Amino acid sequence: MLIRVFWGFFFGAGKQKLNLATFQSPANSMARPGGKVSIDDLVAGLYSSKKSDRKGAVDTLADFAQSGAIERLPLEAFPNLYKGILTCLSSDRTLCTSKGLQKATATDLARWEKSADMLRRVVDKTVKLINNTVVKLLVRHLLESIRFGGKLVSAVSLNYCKVFCKLLEYPPHLDHLGLERWLELSKFAWAVVLGDALTADSSWEEDEGAAKGEDDDDDMALGDGQRSQPGTGRKATYNSMSPDQIACCTLIKHLSSSCYAPLTRATNDPKNPSGGSNIGSNLLRKFIRYFDTYANEATGHVDMLPALRHVLERMELNATDSFVRFSRSVWATLVSLLGSRTKDMREELLVILHILLPLFAWDQGKDSSHPDSADGLRKFVNTFEREVLNRGLEPLSPDALRLDILAEDGHIPAFYARTYRYGPMFSFSQAMTWVALDLYSSSLVHVRC
């Protein structure tokens, strides 16, 4: 250690240099005398109170990110660099919100937006190089800065949401997110998707009436063809999603996939101390609201269906009553989506319906006051035969689902169908076919009973 300090003192290693000679910067980039930029000078520019200095540092970092040069920085440089970036973003935000966001000038908003875009580009290139301390700083700052007055700040919201997604796309960052941050991010993402107010003290408890899509306040209804913006607190009535909401669907998918997601944890909601429900049950109610509002929004379903599958797999044996209510509420919507042309969506739907079917069918026999279960099964069988079997799956036959090894007679193999056969070549698509036929046969049994 002493040798390193001695060497740095006499040979100028105190300032780390980034050689820019290896990449061509855009024609409109800043001139950099000598072709080298000191990291300390760059961070100082981000901390500067002068707009021109911050703009120059932002442009330089954007160039580094675009070229990939930022990936060659030493790992120990990233904590200070990110602190400088967050300080720059805080300065830009202060300029825009000091007198109210509506009074902010277009120039200040554009500067803040450009800084947010730079952050997104830098995170895209360095997400695997930063440590958990930096990730926590980023998440805390972005959650505080992305909203103002209970609404999203449109100038930076999309870039910030994409930063959240990029961070949690990397499993180590997702695994070390922590309970508090997981809860905060999940509340935020769901509030954006469902159009609820973005308040820091929002409740986890999901009202039963809201889960059914009921709205007691007629004044909150919007006219035909209109859709509320995220964070207004109004229910969306037009089934189209904004880019911010679509990005938050991706964020929900990442959060739900975490093995540390506290789905079975009690809400412990101070606003409703006697509620006694858990987070997973409330998430199921939020999914009901989502499918009621965006029944045909395929862009959002691409991420929300995997998120739903993760929640169902974790909650299947922990919230039976919530499962029954959920299956009864969304079964028809999920069945209608089987006609989707997106292969990934159809596969997710088959797995989800396969999980829900036992409780959905059990509900049919348990409570005769809900005949919709029997009708739902008949509609599923009809839709399956029309939309799934006609797309490459052969009709159900006993041999198609036989699992035991049959005797060698030269004609009948262990199990065989036109779409798959036993052996080492049994593929993922063939396994999905097996799931589809198993789901179909189970439905036929309940319908005929």
Calculate the average pLDDT of the chain: 77
pLDDT tens-place string over residues 276-315: 568 888 999 999 999 999 988 889 999 999 999 999 988 8
Residue 25 corresponds to which tokens in the numbers above? 């910067």
> Does residue 382 have a pLDDT over 90?
no
Better-predicted residue by pLDDT, 146 or 21: 146
Residue 439 corresponds to which tokens in the numbers above? 């789901």
Quick one: pLDDT at residue 446? 72
Instruction: Work out the angle at residue 194's Cα, subtended by the Cα atoms of residues 343 and 207, and round it to the nearest 5 degrees.
Output: 115
Quick one: pLDDT at residue 442? 80
**Which long-range contacts link 86-92 to residues 24+ away (Cβ below 8 Å)?**
86/137, 86/138, 86/141, 87/46, 87/47, 88/46, 88/47, 88/54, 88/57, 88/58, 88/115, 89/115, 89/116, 89/119, 89/141, 89/145, 90/141, 90/145, 91/49, 91/54, 92/54
| Residue the block writes with tokens 């469902």 | 194
Q: What is the CA radius of gyration of the chain?
A: 27
Q: What is the pTM of this model?
A: 0.79
Better-predicted residue by pLDDT, 428 or 300: 300
pLDDT band at 222 (very low <50, low <70, confident <90, very high): very low
Sequence-distant (≥ 6) Cβ neighbours of residue 105 within 8 angstroms: none
* Pick from 75-84, 175-184, 345-354, 380-389: least confident: 380-389
Q: DSSP letters along 69-118, please?
A: GGGGS-GGGHHHHHHHHHHHHHHHHHHHHTT-GGG--HHHHHHHHHHHHH
The ranges assigned to domains in the chain are 1-156, 177-213+229-318
pLDDT band at 230 (very low <50, low <70, confident <90, very high): very low
pLDDT tens-place string over residues 344-377: 888 899 899 989 988 887 755 555 445 567 788 8
Sequence-distant (≥ 6) Cβ neighbours of residue 1 within 8 angstroms: none
Q: Is 220 helix (H, G, I), strand (E, B) or coil?
A: helix
Sequence-distant (≥ 6) Cβ neighbours of residue 384 within 8 angstroms: 338, 436, 439, 440, 443
Residue 80's identity, in one-letter code, is N
- Residue 181 has, within 13 A of its CA and on its CB side, a CA count of 24
Quick one: pLDDT at residue 342? 80
Better-predicted residue by pLDDT, 199 or 234: 199
Burial class (CB in 10 A: 0-12, 13-18, 19+), 28: exposed
pLDDT tens-place string over residues 137-171: 999 999 999 999 889 999 999 999 999 999 999 99
Distances in whole angstroms, Cα of residue 119 to Cα of each of 30, 164, 179, 189, 385 = 18, 11, 25, 20, 49
Quick one: pLDDT at residue 340? 78
Quick one: pLDDT at residue 418? 54
Quick one: pLDDT at residue 109? 95
Instruction: For 225, list phi and psi in degrees, rounded to 5.
Output: 80, 5
> Does residue 238 have a pLDDT over 50?
no
Average pLDDT over residues 219-244: 49
> Does residue 95 have a pLDDT over 90?
yes
- Are the beta carbons of 323 and 287 closer than 8 angstroms? no
Quick one: pLDDT at residue 131? 94
* Pick from 153-167, 210-224, 242-256, 347-361: least confident: 210-224
For 344-370, letters b (16+ CB in 10 Å) and e give ebbbbbbbbbbbbbebbbbbbeeeeee
pLDDT band at 408 (very low <50, low <70, confident <90, very high): low
Average pLDDT over residues 394-407: 52
In the chain, the largest separation of any two C-alpha atoms, in whole Å, equals: 88
